[in-house]
Amino acid sequence: MRKLSVLTLVVVLALVVSAAGAALARQNVEITLMGWSSSTEENDALLAQVAAFEAANPDISVNVQLVPEYDTTIQAAFASGDSPNVFYVDSSKLPDWAEAGVLASGEGMIENLDDHYESLLEAFTYDGTLYCPPKDFSIMALQYNKDMFDAAGLDYPTPDWTWDDLRTAAEALTGENEAGQKVLGLVTPPNFERWLPFLYQAGGSVLNEDWTEVTLDSDEAREALEFYIGMVNDGIAGPPSMVDAGWGGEAFAQGRVALAMEGNWVISYLVEQFPDLNWGVTELPRHPAGGQASMVFTVCYGVASNNDYPDESWQLANFLTGPEGSQLVAEEGFGVIPPAISAADTWLEAIGPEIGEGFLAGAEYAHKWQFPVGFQDVFDTFNADLQLAFEGQYLAEDVIIDTIGVAEEVLAR
């Protein structure tokens, strides 16, 4: 009898323990966060943010997946109905993903709206719906090689530089380096988004406000494109490949160009890999009539519409983009700017104000990098034509006519 009761006790205890375990397990929710892999510092900062979130929410554990070939991977995940709960969304991809219905609406779910830049929230609003809180952003600015400016006896660029100043400086800085290699004044990648600031500075636009009409057929567009192509045809600027580089930042880092127009992603690249480079940064030059513009490239934390744990997902997205999460990123002081306005000062301090302010200043007037679904066709046509124009085979007018034709076709689809 005694033996039996001990056994009963053991069995009952075991049952209680396992039931409690099951209850705990039910509470402990695992959500998946998918993004692309960046620099080690940036990945570490994300992991630190996630650790802080898990510490504050012991019942939620986050499975972080930083994958290569992100766009392909996540598209396959969407298509198979196996979407991660929270994931990176580039502002240029937002229209496609919103149209496809894989993004949950962020209306009423996103916290700390006051602490976010208006221009960023606008970049994640599609068809009147705000989808996701911005994760970070990068703004195009003008980087200059101080040593090359000193050697040429030129003053450093300032925020009130105009296109004419840019041209004059690029002309003076074009030449050869000690190794006899060609050095260009300015690097001009043959990409639509690199030319867009010039279009916006000149007062032009690609589409009308509600994306129903193509507005490229304008004097402003022609002026901006002729300026961009003209510098290449005159031999004072060129694409990165002309100076043996894969991208503008590399051309600049290797001293093969004196000026570049990259975003703040270039900071960690230059600081870590080229610590000896003596460089500065300021805002993009203005149109001679005074027009100021830049581009903002930004990413948000989207929440899946097909989601077992929507509440926990929003909790994570809000934490990562909120004041506390932003501070964690800002303190690290690498390239990208944290999304919360309250964290801007911390970021500036960590990155060094001379560098940081040149980029951050553009947040006021930068345009979002976002176009309607299917506009990839337009970018590809423009970029291909622009390369031919750089080679002198196309005129600015040819590029504009081609681009308008494709853009109108895409809008009519």
Partner 1 sequence: MAQPQVLARPKVTTMAAKRRQEALTGYMFMAPALVIFLVFLIIPIGAAVYLSFTDWNGITPVFDEGAYEQVGLDNYRDLLLGEHTEADGRVVKATTRQRDFFISLKNTTYYVLGVVPTQTLLALILAVIVNQRWLKAKGFFRTAFYFPSITSSVVISIIFMWMFTRGGLINTTIGAVFSGYDSNSFVNWLDDPRGVIHIILEQFGVTRANVGDWASNRSLGLTTWEWLSGPSVTMLTIMILNTWTTIGTMMVIFLAALQNIPSSVYEAAAIDGANAWRIFRQITVPLLRPTTFFVVTLGLIGCFQVFDQIYVISSGGPAKTTLTVAYMVYQNGFNRSAMGLAAATAIILFVIIFAFTLLQRLFVSERANV
The residues of the shown chain that bind partner 1, judged by CB under 8 A, are 71-72, 75, 78-81, 83, 96-97, 99-102, 180-182, 190, 239, 241-244, 306, 373-374, 376-377, 380-381, 383-385, 387-388, 391, 393, 405-406, 409-410, 412-413
Cβ distance to partner 1 smaller for residue 52 or 388: 388
Cβ distance to partner 1 smaller for residue 189 or 291: 189
Cβ distance to partner 1 smaller for residue 315 or 383: 383
- Helix (H/G/I), strand (E/B), else coil: 367: strand
Minimum CB separation of residue 318 from partner 1 in Å reads: 25
Cβ distance to partner 1 smaller for residue 104 or 267: 104
Q: What are phi and psi of 167, to 5 degrees?
A: -60, -50
Cβ distance to partner 1 smaller for residue 81 or 128: 81
Q: Which of 170, 173, 186, 355 shows the shortest CA–CA distance to 280?
A: 355
Is the CB of residue 367 less than 8 Å from the CB of residue 294? yes
Say how far apart CA 290 and CA 386 lie, in whole Å: 26
Minimum CB separation of residue 352 from partner 1 in Å reads: 32
DSSP assignments along 104-125, one per residue: PP-TTT---GGGB-HHHHHHTE
Minimum CB separation of residue 370 from partner 1 in Å reads: 14
Cβ distance to partner 1 smaller for residue 199 or 407: 407
Minimum CB separation of residue 398 from partner 1 in Å reads: 12
Cβ distance to partner 1 smaller for residue 18 or 72: 72
Minimum CB separation of residue 388 from partner 1 in Å reads: 5
Tokens 């934390």 -> residue: 301
Minimum CB separation of residue 255 from partner 1 in Å reads: 13
The H or E element that residue 409 is part of is helix 396-412
What contacts 332, CB < 8 A, 6 or more positions away?
A: 41, 42, 44, 45, 350
Say how far apart CA 378 and CA 413 lie, in whole Å: 13
Structure tokens at 149: 């400016």
Cβ distance to partner 1 smaller for residue 164 or 391: 391
How far is residue 398 from each of residues 203, 207, 227, measured CA to CA in Å?
21, 19, 15
Say how far apart CA 205 and CA 215 lie, in whole Å: 6
Minimum CB separation of residue 372 from partner 1 in Å reads: 11
Minimum CB separation of residue 383 from partner 1 in Å reads: 7
Q: Cα torsion for 12, 13, 19, 24, to the nearest 10°? A: 170
Dump strand ranges (E) for 311-396. Answer: 366-368
CA angle at residue 139 from 303 to 117, to 5 degrees?
Answer: 55
Q: Are strands 142-145 and 257-260 parallel, antiparallel or unpaired?
A: antiparallel
